[in-house]
Amino acid sequence: MALAPRPHQANTTAAAAPKPPAGPVVFETPPGGILPAQLSPAEQAAVAALPPPPEAPGGSMVIAQPQPVALPPLKGGPAVANTALLEKTPDGYLPRISDAGLTPMQAYAGAQPPAGRPRIAIVITGLGLSASNTQAAINNLPPGVTLAFAPYLADVQNWVALARQKGHEVLLQVPMEPYDFPDSDPGEHTLRVSVGEEANTRRLSWALTRFTGYVGVTNMLGGRFLSEPGPIEPMMTFLMRRGLLFYDNGAASRSVAPMVAERLGAPFAQATNTIDSIQASMEIDHRLADLEAEARARGKAVGTGFRYPVTMERVTLWARGLQSRGFVLAPISAIVATGKK
């Protein structure tokens, strides 16, 4: 099954793309905690030996079958997983709120910026599908930029571990039904309007077990799904009860997610600006300037971009002068709104 590339998306994966680091399972154990059942040594070895996913002709990514994923160690960085926040299921580990009330959104949050300055969050999506671009995003973008990873490939946990070690906050991209489905088809685990709450919950749970260490979920496609309050409400309720935020990347022009989130009191943020809808340096610079104007007026602003090299280049250059212009770069968890109005 091939993942259809995003419209006007160019594949830039190098022939000899770098691989993410591999290593044994490591957990951060709470005081007095007991480790849950982990992957066996044989499973860990099998995961570590998995080859990188091949590229299909025409630039589509060939999606590997779901595999158990080993959690790699982090040296001198934040833990990939806290056992108090994990619930074992047949599909893998689901995030949960700990018995002490700690949420994944709190535990895996990036460094929170100081108060007093307008905050701007940038979320870069599509990570984990191109090794070279994923590594470039992790290494070159400033730590305040939030990175969103697709759930499909077996090595994604290793990339997430490296991203968190570098200081990036992480989101999980969940495939959701677009208006042109099935012409644009994000895969068999896509949340859909017509399949019902039980089926969507199973599909959502599958995505949530692909890796750990994320503060919340964002949509992959999803124009139609996010326009229907019926299927959105149980999805958002499920996420809220597991201590996760929902980030609407702004691609769905008729999204009712803000209305549902406000009614539920769910942790939520929405992009108001897609910074690279036109992939040109000058256009991206203009969109980033628009975010500054919005943040100056409202105290915060959020923009979404894809892992295009030009996007990462312009965001990196823009961020260097952000503080001198009176703004602060913030992870998405520092932007979320919660509670009913």
CATH of the domain at 125: 3.20.20.370
Please count the structural domains in the chain.
1
> How far is residue 147's CA from residue 331's CA, in Å, rounded to a whole number?
9
**Per-residue confidence (pLDDT) for residue 115, from 0 to 100:** 87
Residue listed under structure tokens 């312009």:
314
Q: Is residue 245 part of a domain?
A: yes
Q: Name the band, by pLDDT with cuts 50, 70 and 90, for residue 157.
A: very high
Most confident of 13-22, 58-67, 304-313: 304-313
**Burial code of 250-289, b = ≥16 C-beta within 10 A, e = fewer?**
bbbeebbbeebbeebebbbbbbebebbeebeeeebeebbe
Q: Is residue 297 part of a domain?
A: yes
- Mean pLDDT across 327-333: 97
User: Which domain covers residue 283, as residue numbers?
Assistant: 82-334
Q: Is residue 270 part of a domain?
A: yes
Contact 124, 305 (CB under 8 A): yes
Structure tokens at 210: 């692909």
Q: Is residue 158 part of a domain?
A: yes
Q: Is residue 43 part of a domain?
A: no
**Per-residue confidence (pLDDT) for residue 19, from 0 to 100:** 54
- Identify the sign of the CA torsion 56, 58, 59, 65: negative
Q: Is residue 96 part of a domain?
A: yes
Among 198, 147, 187, residue whose Cα is nearest residue 170: 147
The amino acid that residue 208 corresponds to is L
Q: 145: which DSSP letter?
A: S
**Per-residue confidence (pLDDT) for residue 315, from 0 to 100:** 98
> How far is residue 214's CA from residue 201's CA, in Å, rounded to a whole number?
18
Q: Is residue 298 part of a domain?
A: yes
Residue listed under structure tokens 């998995």:
50
Q: Name the band, by pLDDT with cuts 50, 70 and 90, for residue 76.
A: very low
pTM for the full model? 0.78
Burial of 114 (0-12, 13-18, 19+ CB in 10 A): exposed
**Average pLDDT in the chain:** 79
- Mean pLDDT across 270-297: 96
